[in-house]
Amino acid sequence: MKQSIQKRRLWLTVGALVLLVALFLGIWWRYAEKSTVGSKSIVITVTYADKTEESYKLKTDAEYLKEAAQAVLTLDGEDTQYGYTVYSINGAEANFNDGNAYWAIYVNGEYGNYGVDTQPVTDGDTYAFVYETY
């Protein structure tokens, strides 16, 4: 009897975990940033190690930042387990594998939560690649 109650409790806990996963998926589906389809006007800026800045205004149909950025910038990097990692922009390198610098992505001035190939592109937004050290 006691064992049966313990088993039931265990399966209830498994069910609760599955429900929690479903709830989290629902939240992600509802609130995660999504790209918009069609033409968008965006601004891409690059801030190099010496603080010089380049700015590009462009119209793009790209859904994600990597494709949009490649229209105006020369990106060099590689696909990693976390997505595409940028190592150099227009020949300027910031490679955390070979130093303590990296290309940070900002969206409308806020630190980006996505990689360059998963950052959705939205009309009117400003995307910044900034050379940062740690």
Chain residues binding other proteins by CB under 8 A are: 10, 13-14, 17, 20-21, 24-25, 27-28, 31-33, 81-82, 100, 110-111, 113-114, 134
**Shortest Cβ distance from residue 64 to other proteins (Å)?**
14
How many whole angstroms separate alpha carbon 34 and alpha carbon 120? 6
**Shortest Cβ distance from residue 111 to other proteins (Å)?**
7
**Shortest Cβ distance from residue 17 to other proteins (Å)?**
6
Considering beta carbons, is residue 58 or 126 the nearer one to other proteins?
Answer: 126
How many whole angstroms separate alpha carbon 37 and alpha carbon 44? 18
User: Which residues have CB under 8 Å from 124's CB, separation 6+?
Assistant: 40, 41, 42
Considering beta carbons, is residue 73 or 107 the nearer one to other proteins?
Answer: 107
Considering beta carbons, is residue 25 or 71 the nearer one to other proteins?
Answer: 25
**Shortest Cβ distance from residue 134 to other proteins (Å)?**
6
How many whole angstroms separate alpha carbon 126 and alpha carbon 123? 9
Q: Which of 76, 67, 20 is CA-nearest to residue 42?
A: 67
**Cβ neighbourhood burial of 69 (10 Å; 0-12, 13-18, 19+):** buried
Considering beta carbons, is residue 73 or 112 the nearer one to other proteins?
Answer: 112
